[in-house]
Structure 1
């Protein structure tokens, strides 16, 4: 007696369908991200001189709508602190307290 083999096709690639955005939607999203970054940057630039000597290379998470920021040596802890204070707020911006504010490499 022979066993029947499965003819099931294995899916490859993304599980979710790709979103097809128009150029206008892409431009709008880019503009929203840039505006959000600028609002966050203002808060970071205001408090950076206060912390750069004592908390160099620590992480700062900024929630620009409230003006709150959260600082910790570990980026995950700083992010958790921000999420606990602002549950449901998706846009948070992460900076590193140094001369550039950049938190990673590209």
Structure 2
């Protein structure tokens, strides 16, 4: 007598249920991100000319309330360094180049 081996069914998709955002919630989140970016961008514009000479294509994480910034060659490392000092702060990471971003849109 032979037995069929049962194989577990692999569940596909996300582990957590997908969050359903309404259009007003999406618009509010976009507005909050834009407002935060507008707080960080002047700090980046101020430090970019000097850093571009010495740290081209590095990453800078900016904490806008203090104006403090952190540098590293890797985006995850710079975020980790910044979160060590400001564990609950929201940070913005820029690439130190002419545009402040990596890749093309």
| TM class by smaller structure | 0.7 to 0.9
Shift of 1:44: 0.3
Q: How many Å separate the matches in 2 of 1:26 and 1:18?
A: 14
The verdict on how the C-alpha distance between 1:9 and 1:51 changes in structure 2, with shifts beyond 3 A counting, is closer
- Report the TM-score when normalising by structure 1: 0.83
| Runs of 4+ displaced beyond 4 Å | 1-9
- Report the TM-score when normalising by structure 2: 0.83
Alignment: residue pair count: 105
Residue 88 (structure 2) aligns with = 88
Q: After the TM superposition, which residues 21-100 of structure 1 pair with which residues of structure 2 at under 5 Å, given as runs?
A: 21-89=21-89, 91-100=90-99
Structure 1: which 5+ residue stretches go unaligned?
none
3-state SS of the aligned residue for 1:53?
Answer: helix
Structure 2: which 5+ residue stretches go unaligned?
none
